[in-house]
Amino acid sequence: MAYSFGSNYNYLGPSAFNVSFDDAFAALDRNGSLTLYFPWLYAILYKIPDRVAVFINPSLAQIYRLHQDLRQIITSIIEGGVKATEKPTIFHEIVNSKLPEDRKSPERLSDEALGFFGAAISTTAWALSTTVFHILDNPEVHTTLHEELLSELDHTGPNSCLGDGHGRALRRKDLP
């Protein structure tokens, strides 16, 4: 997230951990798949006011809010509000590239940004789901991983990657 957009929504933090874009991106994907076969449909869907689209499909509300946030970030980059020396991003490179100006519009780049976000969510979710399945499906791997994690927990400190995010290390007693 920080590499692409120069910021972090901290969705893994305690207050936002339950936020899920899974359903929202699945709904967007269903609509997007239709536009591959009916390209004219994209133009129609794009012109539907946000509140109408959200009324029809409430799970799209998160996508519209995210898209607005991304457009603000991109516009700020284009207008020079976020300097590349502060937080250089992929979009700084695109804005400063030799692409034609019409390919660097806030609308187009925010659509690309939403695509990056969706791709990151779906690939990460797939990788984690597949990994967990194979760990649980193979008792020997599950046992070995469990033992290694317990061993590592015995040697963690508050700055460990196995901490709870508040400067406290997780301990063996914290696990089920």
Cα(82)–Cα(88) distance, integer angstroms: 8
pLDDT 10s digits, 48-63 = 888 888 888 787 788 8
pLDDT at 98 over 80: yes
CB 58 within 8 A of CB 64: no
* Number of C-beta neighbours around residue 110 at 10 A: 21
160 versus 117: the higher-pLDDT residue is 117
* pLDDT band at 151; cut points 50, 70, 90: confident
The pLDDT, as a whole number, for residue 66 is: 85
> What is the average per-residue pLDDT within 14-23?
62
**Residue carrying the six token digits 């972090």:** 8
The pLDDT, as a whole number, for residue 14 is: 58
Two structure tokens written together for 129: 């789901």
> What is the average per-residue pLDDT within 83-101?
81
The pLDDT, as a whole number, for residue 134 is: 96
Dihedrals phi, psi of 53, to nearest 5 degrees = -60, -40
